[in-house]
Copies of this chain bind each other. A is one copy, B any other.
Amino acid sequence: MVSIKDVAESAGLSVATVSRALNGHPSVSDDARERVQAATDSLGYRPNVVARSLRTHRTGTIGLVISDVLNPYFTELARAVEEEARELGYSVIIGNADERADLEDHHVRGLLDRRIDGLLVSPADGRSPMTLEAATGPTPVVFVDRWIPGVDVPVVRSDGRTAIADLVDHLHSLGHRRLAIIAGPAATTTGRERVDAFRAGLAVHGLALPEEYVGSGDFQAESGRACTERFLNLPEPPDVIFATDNLMALGALDAIGARGLRVPRDIALAAFDDIPWFSHTDPPITTIAQPTAELGRVAVRALADLIAGSPASSTVLPAHLVVRRSCGEPAQQGSHT
């Protein structure tokens, strides 16, 4: 591997001058600059970022720890993060926690060891010691999508509450009265928020959310299936199931299909998170869409601010209801009022 020393030798200059020329330092003569250019070209020199990082204490890298790469929501988030980061001159290292606290721990630790300049994390829950440590440590941290209550770290997320209220209104207007929810892990903020908002929405219509209509999922497909089966086995099954993420909705679809039931004729289904596939399922799924890419971009900018030393603020972006056909046809279809 050719090093800066080789370039210096070939250009007949000291490594210091070569380094300065390479970094665009002002006091380098045109002559030297050209010689360095020629030398790097002919030798095919590429600076060793490892050595550079050791000296400068900067790696030009940010870490992103997400809960589940297989979830299209997080994939889209990751893509937006990488895009924005690239424009700001950062690389991104992604860690997939797979909804497991131990893996989240593993990745956060690994990223800190790598001396990333900043960390973006969607904490599975508060049970990852490393995430807590990172949040209070010297490395800038921003939470995205989910956060840990009581931890003083900027959060970039979307607020699904009004959208969930809209959803409940929608369901109610379609005549549904027995509404069930497949919740995410109670330990995650998004998991709790969605159940709370759902319950509040029901209360507006004078409806309760009985305990047996609350399924405890883990944001993965299999749990959606299990909860749905439990719902369908109830003496009085719900009219609607609201899955609080897209993978659990997929599991619910599976379970419903396995019973030979049809959506929305036999049971209605709604989901949180919109993804392209939801327009193509049978039937297309009514969902709550988050401004996912925007979340990613804003989070990166907040982190970059933090790295630059300026304080970053939290951001909350609104989610909105997307009505499709999985909850039944709108009642006002025939009545134009």
Interface, chain A (partner B; CB < 8 A) = 1, 46-51, 53-54, 59, 69-70, 72, 75-76, 78-79, 82, 86, 91, 93-94, 96, 106, 109-110, 112-115, 138, 221, 250, 253-254, 257, 276-277, 279-283
Contact = CB atoms under 8 A, between A and B. Distances in A.
A28 to B, nearest CB: 22
A96 B51 CA distance: 25
16 contacts: A1-B138, A49-B113, A49-B114, A50-B59, A69-B79, A75-B75, A91-B114, A93-B94, A250-B276, A250-B277, A250-B280, A254-B280, A277-B277, A277-B281, A281-B282, A282-B283
Nearest to A253: B280
Contacts of A54: 48, 50-51, 54
A156 B254 CA distance: 32
Contacts of A78: 69
Would you call the interface of chain A mostly helix, strand, loop, or mixed?
Answer: helix
A201 to B, nearest CB: 27
Nearest to A285: B280
A233 to B, nearest CB: 22
Contact of A72 (B46, B72, B281): B72
How many copies of this chain does the complex contain? Answer: 2
Contacts of A114: 49-50, 91
Given A54-B54, A70-B75, A277-B277, A93 B96 contact: no
Contacts of A109: 46
A187 B117 CA distance: 38
A115 B69 contact: no
A47 B113 contact: yes
A93 B63 CA distance: 10
Contacts of A221: 276
A312 B113 CA distance: 30
A82 B98 CA distance: 11
A118 B196 CA distance: 47
A96 B69 contact: no
**Nearest 5 A-B pairs (CB), nearest first?**
A282-B282, A277-B277, A280-B281, A50-B53, A49-B113
Contact of A115 (B49, B70, B82, B276): B49
Given A276-B250, A280-B282, A282-B280, A79 B75 contact: no
Contacts of A110: 91
A253 to B, nearest CB: 5
Contact of A70 (B51, B59, B79, B96): B79
Contact of A50 (B47, B50, B257, B276): B50
Nearest to A279: B254
A214 to B, nearest CB: 24
A245 to B, nearest CB: 14
